[in-house]
Structure 1
Amino acid sequence: MVSSGQYESGQYEQGQYEQGQHEQSYERYLGGTPQAERVLFERLARELMKVQAADARAAGAGAPARAQHAKAVLAVENARLRFRDDLPEDLRHGFAQPGAEYPATVRLSNASGIRQADAAPDLRGVAVRVEVSADESHDLLATNWPVSHAKDAREFIAFAKSMAGARTTLQKAFGLFVKLPLAVGLSTADRMRRNIRAATRHTVTSLAAETFWSRGAILWGSAGPVRYLLRPAGGAAPGPRPDRRDPNYLHRDLAHRLVTADVAFDLCLQRYVDEKRTPIEDGSVEWRDAVAPAVPVARLTVPSQDVDTAEARSAALRVDDLAFNPWYTTDDFRPLGNLNRARKAAYEASAAYRRGLRFRTEEPLRNRVLGVPVGAAFRTLNRAVPWHRLPLQLSLLNLVFLRKALRRFNLIDTDPHEAPPRAVPVPLAPHESLRTARSYDGTFNDLSAPAMGAVGAAFGRNLVPDYRPDLFDTPNPVTVSRRLLHRESFVPATSLNVLAAAWIQFQVHDWVNHRRHPAGTKTVEVPLPPGSAWYNTPGGPAEHVMRFAENEGMQVPGGRPPVLFANTASHWWDGSEVYGADEATARQLRAPDGGADLRLEEGHLPIGPNGVPLSGFTDNWWLGLSLMHTLFAREHNAVCAALRRTYPSMSEESVYHTARLVVSALIAKIHTVEWTPAILATEAIDLGLHTNWDGPPDSWLQKLGLWLLEAHSLTGIPKTLPDHHGAPYSLTEDFVTVYRMHPLIPDDFDLREHHFGQRLETVGFLDLNGGAAEGAIRKTGLANSLYSFGIAHPGAITLHNFPRALQKFEREGEIIDLSVVDLVRTRRRGVPRYNDFRAGLHKERIRDFEDLTENPETLARLKDVYSSVDEIDTMVGLFAENPPTGFGFSDTAFRIFILMATRRLQSDRFLTVDFRPEIYTPLGIDWVQKGGMNSVILRHCPELASLIPRSGTAFAPWRQVHPTSNGST
């Protein structure tokens, strides 16, 4: 007895068969392991999509067709498969039982990826879906020649690429005799051409008279590997001599036959014998009938019918839209061998591309060719002159090539993937609502990969993790915090206001969150320096360790280090901090009658049982978050009201989801073209980020440069297609690290009213934290609170400026020092230390502490804390690094930013291909395109109009109202 598990390991112990008893290892993985082979097959799947695109261009079609078997000859939904009453005992397994009968869908086709006349030399194919139950079906695919022209997946794709778009005899000859040998070598190309000639030389007069072979093996339960074939039942008569003037004569032949009689095929199985005579891995070797006799096991019958009625044509269109895949089966009948293993990813990608669920963007040849020398020139130039010291146009072009390099080398997929492939049921089509609205949990943003970027998806990586348990406490993180991070005096960021600090925390809560174990259940213990003590819980004893909750890691196969963590937020820019990341939370936040509005109490967020308002994400709540959440909850309701006025027939559910799309996109735009240029205040960044959203400025020189080197940037990202750049979309642990910007938060706040500038009160951060925040905003008022934040500076992101309030505060029953937590989390998540971090982002390593800072006091402390520059913590190095002029954070951190800022937009379907009036409504698109942070503030606090900067963003310092002589200071 052979279990499916034995097959998954690549080993098969053959039982007692007629051919004798022996042990056989038959599955061999490209690259040596299933995981390595999966990566190769993913690349091949992308190559197959290129073939579809080339065929679509050659056919003059707007949308891609199937990569292979584009033209259906017959497609019916009412066929039947019945197993023989005398089914051999050893072949009875699962659905294969004597006399069992099942409905089946059948598609007969020509094999070419281009729809061409039936008389053209071609292979023919059949796809059958046997429907056992609502939860079980089996797809059988076969071709009218017993062997494949390709022995493995790489040869198959090479052939498909060589012949892609070939319609004329000359084009086909060029593909076969020039492109194919260049791809696979002369001898392999010769063998493949011989197989193709043999397979296509005979004239097919009727598909009812053809035999179709699987050409690859499948498992047949305990019987082991088999190949199958479908041969005409009862000696079907050949068709008449074809009329070569009729491009569809094969269809007409079948239609004529079915008017008067059934068309039937016998399903036969060939048993595995041995690797030499019946190989599993090599699809180009025939299993000869003399070695492996074909045993009839079932009959496939297409019943007599008129296939040209309107009803039959509708059924044929439905069948033509199906995606057949040999992996749509059960594990006991799973496909075997290299070609079959490749088919899962390849067929899924091809079907998703054809059905508009997956997209591809091809870099123009001129960009690829010119990019090589220009990229090399910039790398050489940057050894002497960094990008930010170049003239404007050169610096912009330098950033383009820096981003290209980061996309190529710094997108690492960490999400666990199945390897080897597993059998699966036929996937359900995405619900229609998911095409026009964001899901609650981030699923189905990419319709071809529903779990990508969703709640629970793993954080990716931009750098290979460096997991060093021996250095978790070296140097002591408490010492690092006290010597290098502790705020001795407030260092302001004078180009920004505190709204910028509140905004980035508002955004981070949308993007990332690591789940923690409940307090006191599984903790991290950090030893304190000698003579130190810490109170870990309110009212608890003084201890010689600092203790806080550990993150929950994901299960990692193979005993690898626990450096994989799930995001409890969705990775998408979907406003989940406002709306929630699950349906229950989202509905709780809506109007109680099921209306589209978010619940507000006289314009304020409703208060929850712990005193913290009800919103999508409320951890680490303070007044800055109250401001942002209140403002955008009001904005949501304003969008809802406008949609109702403009589209009175729109349902409340549609109003809600459309408003969420609009608000989420507006938030993304504000962050892209307002917040980021404010914190990275240079002309190059301002131009680059506006190009990201709106396209390049109207400069012929800049447009020419982009046309030659980066044509994709000639339009704003919202006018492009989704592109994950070779790695499934996710936010990364390295992204989390560079967004540790807690120094932005002041320790105290001067709250003033905006009419006369009078001070209302001065309070500390802890007075505005947690449940106290909502009381403060209601007491002070939204307009006064916004004004108070608008005229105050945040802290600079630098050493010696970590908020004191965050170095000892209570969270969920623990007293923590957040600066220590930040250091420890970064180390334990395997983020490389600073010098390795910058080297991994294509910056030169520092050799001495003096390369990092010229400040003598900081230099002395760094040398005292760290034994070498390679020990410097990532966060410490990022804070210590001297940033480019105008930058609010380091150039090293900026490397992660330039990669991920574009990626957050470019990967998101709702910010690219579906950012359009048909989805958002014309009003919604207009709301986003004309809106910004200033318009949001003024819509809800119009009295602040004279105080917001005339030019620039709401994140720059506001005009202050000075108290009159009668006012209070």
Structure 2
Amino acid sequence: MARYAMLYFGTVGLCVISSISSMDEDSFLNTTSITNLIVSSYQESLQTLVEKAFQSRQRRSSRAPSLGGFTFGQQAEPETLEIGRAAETFHSTLQVLDQKLKQRYKRDITETGLLSWEHVELLAELSGCPPPAHPAICQDSYLSKYRSINGVCNNRYNHFWGAANIPLTRWLPAQYEDGVRQPKGWNAGRLYHGFELPTPKEVSKKIMGSSVKCEDDTYSHMLVEWGQYIAHDVTLTPQSPAAGKPGDDCLNSCENVHPCFPIQVHDKPPNGQGCMPFNRSLAACFNGLGPDVWQALQQQQMNSITSFIDASVVYGSSPKVNEFLRDLGGFNGKLTVNAHFRDPKGRAYLPFEESLQSVCLRGREKAACFRAGDGRVNEGLPLIALHVLWLRQHNRIAETLQQLNAHWNAETIYQETRKIIGALHQMITMRDYVPKIIGQESFDNYIGPYGGYDPTVDPSASNVFATAAFRFGHATISPLVRRLNQSYQEHEFFPSLKLHDTFFSPWRIIKEGGIEPILRGAVGKEAASVLPNKLLADELTERLIVLAVPQDMDLASLNLQRGRDHGLPGYNDWRDFCGLERIRTLDDLKEVVSDASVAERILEVYKHPDNIDVWLGGLVETFLPGSRTGPLFACLIAKQMKALRDGDRFWWEAEETFSQAQRKELGNVSLSKIICDNSDITEVPPDAFVFGKYPSGYVSCDTLPPMDLEAWREEKSQDLKRCGSPGQIDNGDYILLKLAGKLVTLYSCYHGFRLTGGDALIACEGDQWSGKLPHCEDIL
């Protein structure tokens, strides 16, 4: 078992244990005795966690394979799971420590001043949390050329800001029932302002579900689809895998046993379970010094992808995923494409996921899933279509850049193309999408014109943005996925589909007309409108498909439970945060909701205004003029978007990111033009987000301004002419840089290899490259 513990949780902290565990515990509580208690608590916690993990592995190996056992699209990357396990060890140790303190000293771990920062750091080290990196690692000037794939070192002084696998930031402290990690609603009978919280299912059934969705004649459904797509570029909160006693796998238990937090269903169906399964979000590791010790001890949730709008949805947020998506063997800077299928014009599709756990649906049959930079790509057909567009756009640009700059190697072509694709994601989102969502007035007040990169701004995604505010779009999802022909009418051969028939069905793209019918349906049909009495379509509250769960789920309940899982403060606290007046009475609520009957139902269900969940409260507010959100969500979304822009050193408008000529060409591009260039669609609205009834307002693709990549033409430098092309290495590549006035080659290896036997940096000296050519050694 000890060997298994080292394999499962690593060996971090063993040297600390050996130097501390021999100390005698003092009879009174001081720094030394607390240290001893931390070590003994860690050892007890580790033993318990290892036993649970071992039992879980045994159960999985004895269980027959079935669809319910597959969770493709929700699987966290190994490094994410490793950090999550360390965080789980941290909090498990904290629980044991709290019990010891109460039993032996009648002290509570929540007492101010009881634990110091040194104690917190010891807990983190023992648990296996990644140590803080030295700030000097981000100071090298060559880090200025391209952003890292995992977001590290975007900020040279706070190198984890915005990076993958860090905690979602807290704009307000978490509110847990035990102060540390127990979600709201964890303890039966717990009262909030004199009342129990309603179950999420009760809120969903009495307030949120709707059998009818009205249409918004201002914006197209593409506004909805882009919202989901760009949300997947900014946040992904992985779920915690269960590792407890038999029955605690969250599918077969209705008890709150960590990490299971089931959603209670009081009117359960015949022969059905009295709950919907729910796994809590994966915990994040303590991440450096903060405002106080207590906040470091509270459970935080992880963003497993980069927070930046950087097209990580295309390229991934880890070296392993990134290189799995690249066509490294083609030496052309392109992304890999599907080896089995193309559309009738020879255009590429996304490659298939090769994992054995890749299980998408074709009726009752299992089918292959597509692979992309984000694992949620297969959730719906419009989402897949957008992923296909950007795959094709990358490869089109890479091919043109290779023709313009024959002296560029594959790595340079790839990185320059990735840089352009990221810029287009930023521009379409901030210029064309965000003002329509929060309204131009809110955009001007909260975000304003770009003033350049600000290294004091933390661009990390916030918990309330990821878990509540940016989920406003769930209420705009239509119960139908429209498929239209060339005249933007119902398709003769591939009719529109009910939403639940499109979940995890990528085969429909290949076998049923490609991406064109779906894209026409997105730009050629109105978005669903949001009314307080018509929030989420029944397709989402009654028939949501989650591959890992063998029963229909309810998106509204899942969102409400997720907010409670994360300890989000209530609706009124966030109104305070945004400088809005608190809701104290029914009349106050009626003023912000605009539908008196809905306001009455909300207070009837919640009993007290301070009990209202922030996602519901923000969703029912009356829209601001020219927006699709009320004042609370406009504030929270704007605050996050401003941080993503101002705190990104590689933002497309930053002075050093692109030349003036390149910025001008990027500014010509629209989502409509990208649709034209990468599909068989020939007529589009100039703005893909604005609805127009065909043919009124539609234009020929030929009339839309292109992006002239001549602005990226780069003449071969005199240094490169003198020294020639640098040596190529197997399982790695290089980029060219100017350092201290010299042309320098920076070598790096692909994932799974490390540089050895030579110099990472080789300079052009005279007419030759100085230094020894390195090679890449396999480390897997």
CA separation of 1:470 and 1:659: change in aligned 2, threshold 3 A:
closer
Equivalent in the alignment of 1:813? 548
Residues 417/803 of structure 1: CA separation in 2 closer, same or farther (3 Å cut): farther
Deviation of the 1:732 alpha carbon:
0.3
Structure 1-normalised TM-score? 0.49
C-alpha deviation, 1:426, in angstroms: 9.0
Q: Which residue of 2 aligns with 1:456?
A: 165
> d(CA) in 2 for partners of 1:885 and 1:777?
41
Matches within 5 A, 1:262-301: none
TM-aligned CA distance change 1:634 to 1:687, over 3 Å:
farther
Deviation at 1:778, TM superposition (A): 5.3
Residue in structure 2 matching 1:617, options 374, 378, 383: 374
Q: Report the equivalent of 2:176.
A: 467
Query: Please, what TM-score do these two structures have when normalized by structure 2?
Result: 0.61
Q: Matched residue of 2:690: which SS?
A: coil
Sort the Cα spacing of 1:569 and 1:955 in 2 relative to 1 into closer, same or farther, 3 A: same
**How does 1:741-760 map onto structure 2 within 5 Å?**
741-755=473-487, 757-760=489-492
1:786-865 alignment runs, 5 A limit: 786-799=519-532, 800-807=534-541, 808-814=543-549, 815=551, 816-852=553-589, 853-865=593-605
3-state SS, counterpart of residue 835 of structure 1: helix
Match for 1:762 among 496, 504, 525? 496
Q: Where does residue 393 of structure 2 map in the other structure?
A: 635
| Mapped partners of 1:452, 1:559: distance in 2 | 18
Residue 922 of structure 1 and its aligned partner are, at CA, apart by 7.0
Deviations 1:788-833 (CA, angstroms, capped at 9, x unpaired):
1112222234443213222233323213322111001111212111
Once the two structures are superposed, residues 434-481 of structure 1 have per-residue CA deviations (whole angstroms, 9 ceiling, x without a partner) of 321121211121133332221111110222322244545711111001
Q: How far apart, CA to CA, are the structure 1 residues paired with 2:169 and 2:125?
A: 13
Name the residue aligned to 1:546. 276
> Do the aligned partners of 1:948 and 1:959 also contact (CA within 8 Å) in 2?
no
Equivalent residue number for residue 490 of structure 1: 213
Match for residue 662 of structure 1 among 420, 424, 431? 420
| Equivalent residue in structure 2 for 1:477, among 197, 200, 203 | 200
Check conservation: 1:750, 1:788, Cα contact below 8 A: yes
Residues 593 and 868 of structure 1, relative CA distance in 2, 3 Å threshold:
same
Among 663, 666, 671, the residue aligned to 1:933: 671
Cα distance in structure 1, aligned partners of 2:469 and 2:134: 41
SS in 1 for 2:673: helix
Taking the aligned partners of 1:507 and 1:443, their CA distance within structure 2 comes to: 20
Please list the CA deviations of residues 665-700 of structure 1 after superposition, one character each: whole Å capped at 9, or x if unmatched. 111111111012233454x357679953xxxxxxxx
2:624 aligns to what?
A: 884
Against the structure 1 CA distance between its residues 5 and 417, is the aligned structure 2 distance closer, same or farther, given a 3 Å change threshold?
closer
Say whether the 8 Å CA contact 2:447–2:638 is kept in structure 1: no
Residue by residue over 1:242-272, the C-alpha shift from the partner in whole angstroms, topping out at 9 and shown as x without a partner, is xxxxxxxxxxxxxxxxxxxxxxxxxxxxxxx
After superposition, the Cα gap between the structure-2 partners of 1:783 and 1:677, relative to the gap in structure 1 and judged at 3 Å, is same
Amino acid at match of 2:690: A
Shift of 1:499: 1.0
Displacement of 1:752? 1.4
Does 2:432 match 1:732? no
SS in 2 for 1:889: coil
The equivalences for 1:567-716 within 5 A come to: 567-591=303-327, 592-600=329-337, 601=342, 602-608=347-353, 609-610=358-359, 611-619=368-376, 621-682=379-440, 684=441, 692=449, 716=450
Cα distance in 1 for partners of 2:642, 2:596 equals 38
CA RMSD of aligned residues (A): 3.8
Q: Write out per-residue CA displacement over residues 177-201 of structure 1, whole angstroms, 9 at most, x where no aligned residue.
A: xxxxxxxxxxxxxxxxxxxxxxxxx
Residue 344 of structure 1 corresponds to which residue in structure 2? none
Q: 1:649 to 1:939 in 2, by over 3 A?
A: same
Contact map agreement 2:135 2:156 (CA 8 A) in 1: no
Partner residue, 2:35: none
**1:691 & 1:425 partners in 2: Cα distance?**
34
Residues 138 and 156 of structure 2 are in contact (CA less than 8 Å); yes or no, is this contact kept in structure 1?
A: no
3-state secondary structure, aligned to 1:876: helix
Indicate the SS of the match to 2:166.
coil
Aligned to 2:108: none
CA shift digits 1:79-114 (9 cap, x unpaired):
xxxxxxxxxxxxxxxxxxxxxxxxxxxxxxxxxxxx
Give the superposition deviation at 1:942: 6.9
State the Cα distance separating 1:940 from its structure 2 match: 2.2
Structure 2 Cα separation of the partners of residues 743 and 803 of structure 1: 7
Give the Å deviation of 1:525.
Answer: 1.6
C-alpha contact (below 8 Å) 1:533/1:545 kept by paired residues: no
Q: 1:489–1:526: structure 2 CA closer, same or farther, 3 Å change rule?
A: same
Write the distance in 1 (CA, Å) between the matches of 2:548 and 2:132.
Answer: 46
Does the 8 Å CA contact 2:572/2:582 hold for their aligned counterparts?
yes
Q: Distance in 1 between matches of 2:528 and 2:125?
A: 42
Structure 2 counterparts to residues 350-429 of structure 1, below 5 A? 427-428=136-137
- Per-residue deviation at 1:756? 6.4
Give the corresponding residue for 2:118: none
1:524 to 238, 257, 261: 261
- In structure 1, give the amino acid aligned to 2:464: D
Where does residue 780 of structure 1 map in the other structure?
Answer: 513
Q: Is the 8 A contact 2:334 2:414 kept in 1?
A: yes
What is the distance in 2 between the residues matched to 1:734 and 1:425?
30
In the alignment of these two chains, the number of paired residues is 519
Alignment deviations for residues 122-145 of structure 1 (CA, whole Å, 9 cap, x no partner): xxxxxxxxxxxxxxxxxxxxxxxx
Q: Is contact 1:673–1:686 with CA below 8 Å preserved after alignment?
A: no
Structure 1 residue ranges without an equivalent (≥5): 14-24, 27-415, 535-540, 693-715, 963-969
Residue 445 of structure 1 is matched in structure 2 by: 154
Sort the Cα spacing of 1:927 and 1:688 in 2 relative to 1 into closer, same or farther, 3 A. farther
| CA radius of gyration, larger in | 1
AA in 2 matched with 1:494 = D
Q: State the alpha-carbon separation in 1 of the partners of residues 333 and 484 from structure 2.
A: 35
Distance 1:426 1:832, change over 3 A: closer
Query: 1:721 touches 1:912 (CA, 8 Å); kept in 2?
Result: no
Fraction of identical pairs, as percent: 19
